[in-house]
Amino acid sequence: MLQRTAAVNDIKIASLAIASVFQIGDSNLIQGYSRAIAVQREKELFFGNEGNFADFPIFSEPIPLTPISENINMSRQNINPFLKVGKIDIIGVSSSSIVHLGNTNHVSLETRVKHIRQLLTKK
């Protein structure tokens, strides 16, 4: 794992929600997963049997991850192993997102949202 030290004098996060992570320090693996059904209607109406994720294929379809087949050459020279930051000010972190101060080996994040708009028929 890349060895660097992050020094932050001040951090402010106004909102952290929905499978999000605020990590201070090193981690080996971070996995975030979030799913939501968002229904927008012109008329306020709710049926008690709504919101079953199994009814929508978007929540069960595999995500195609194309393997990287090309060669990548990279060189790095960290003259100073310290990252120094005065202030971080974040309005919001949501839907399987990460604010991470430290080193990580593996990160996997997934958010699936089904948006449904139900409009009244025009007469």
Please give the average per-residue pLDDT across 16-24, as a whole number.
Answer: 85
pLDDT tier at 13, thresholds 50, 70, 90:
very high
pLDDT tier at 2, thresholds 50, 70, 90:
low
- CA–CA separation, 8 vs 14, rounded Å? 17
Instruction: Give this prediction's pTM.
Output: 0.68
Domain chopping of the chain, boundaries: 5-118
Helix (H/G/I), strand (E/B), else coil: 55: helix
- CA–CA separation, 60 vs 54, rounded Å? 8
Helix (H/G/I), strand (E/B), else coil: 53: helix
